[in-house]
Chains A and B, each alone.
Chain A
């Protein structure tokens, strides 16, 4: 079986740290290797052509590429070898970039040694690879879009125009999101609702869109191509078929006033209400929390549309893809106590100012001081309230607030030229087409800019006093204003937590949903078939949200338009002769893919290849097509063949979280010790205790098993199963005199590269304390 080994320079990304000549000559001497080369960029056309040429020239039947993470370029190289006539699964990658050169930059010699071990492990596994056939499954061409803000609207319209059916689920009684509530928008100061309303009505009238307003998703099962979604359509107590949207008939007689959430507390609405005049669907809604049941609206409605007997309804959908466009929520300004929001009446937020400036808002377009109802003579804008502020846990920039304040200050100045306006900023960020020009326009209008974060607002005799340090001219100041506008930042919408947990979406440290790659995959989630658009993945302006909505729609189309999907042949299968019909596997399988026949039978379409059954099977009757026992054991043997450093750690990383975390440590250049030899498995639950024993027996000083965080397993409970097995194993080790601390199980999400690095560092320190494997046996003897 001639194997070709290709060691990639990746420019200087790998070659800048590792000794490429040494790796190449090392690879040449490995068993079964027919040719080893070092390539500048193996993923480039030239690199791929070289591999294809060698497959023909040297009759290679399997290929090892030592380069970046297989999570990045495995598909690339699989395609390359397919073109040369090989089965795509005859490829193995050694991750010497993310998990070696990028994380051991200051230890080139040890990193090169680690890379040699990783290549030896890959070659050993490659020798045992089997050709596999991919299967195709039919998929639903329907798409679920969650969130009816501008990003969700754009995604829904693009998909529907392309001929896919869309279910647009919106939590509130109307779509439109925050954009529907804004006044004019930057950088052109055109009317927000005027450009959004036509899209909203397109959604309502599109034959391919089922608009499900006032509904929430409460359950998601299944996976890419066939998500089974369940949820609840909340009772409106108004029949949408009868309601004409005239609104004043019912709301006019309603005796209940409550603060309107659509005016952010400055306006009021009735218990029966239409959120705003352009709402879609234009159907009234009774707020059951506020309604006192007087039934005046029932009598007043000329269409008899109000029905207090209405109940919430469950719905069930099957969709092929899900677009998460759940948006954001405003920072709670009262958390910045020093600004007195909620105590001082004339301290308001950007959103409240937006509503005042809005012609259909509570003040009909007038900007007034809430304490007096009069037009303010001086207004201060305070930037970065709840953004770039570690004291409230939000280190990130909310990106739109500088532009929003520039815009609002211009609108106010144009309306009331005599009003003095000052913007208090830390840095003014106006990056975007036409944004800097917009900033200059504000300057030319006579708006003042003061650099320095305001430390406090106090109120004396109905005047607001801002205390701040002017960091440009120097000196502390105390200046009086009539009105202070807090430029509040954007936070991820808490209401999206349910959906995030159902789908298993990862979150960044800023708590927004994490995308699959911070640059290259901006609208894809870590979960196949799930896409993220708009502010759900971080603060964004309207333009970018629309672009992302369109991008997510395009990705969903690409995924589903053929109506079928190729599945990786990663499934388990049962060796009929070995199965003792103990049925352990039946309960272990998270997908219920194994049925208790005689012998056990795996439904290979339902099986997702986690391998927990294979780890649990007491007679090793269950095997995996990919990541087989033999392949993993070969990697363990190769990792321990030459004990090149102390302590030597054999690490099993789950494909979805920990392996991603190790890759992220690489892309983030987080440095940690070189001692771990990583083996990728589909799930922590795949780690058979025999792998661990094999590693320790062969001289590994420690074994690390890293899985998804508890509760976040891609296969629901694989990490619990791994934990249970490790605990049993530790007991056994203790009995035979091996320190149970040599086996360590840790959890990290794909977003937690720093935690993975810390775990490795700590384990290395612990193992140094313990000494080489077997030390404890020698110590025990004289004592006995």
Chain B
């Protein structure tokens, strides 16, 4: 029987790693992958609480999180392709056209 705290600790470790990836790396592809990692660490939490409470809501919510993550990746990669086609920039610091 695995204690619930182990799952929570694992998911917070993965969350911190994902946040570090978003903040430390400037490559836009790696930033997107780190966002995926963050969303997945939240999924672990949801499913773990769903199991320990014996309640289906956590699993239903994790399906919604997975769907939103897939939609986000589709749109983000579309934006990335349009961006690279226009100015070949992959560094997130170089993309500041919308900055007022």
| A and B form one complex | no
Please list the residues of chain B having a beta carbon within 8 angstroms of any beta carbon in chain A: none
Please list the residues of chain A having a beta carbon within 8 angstroms of any beta carbon in chain B: none
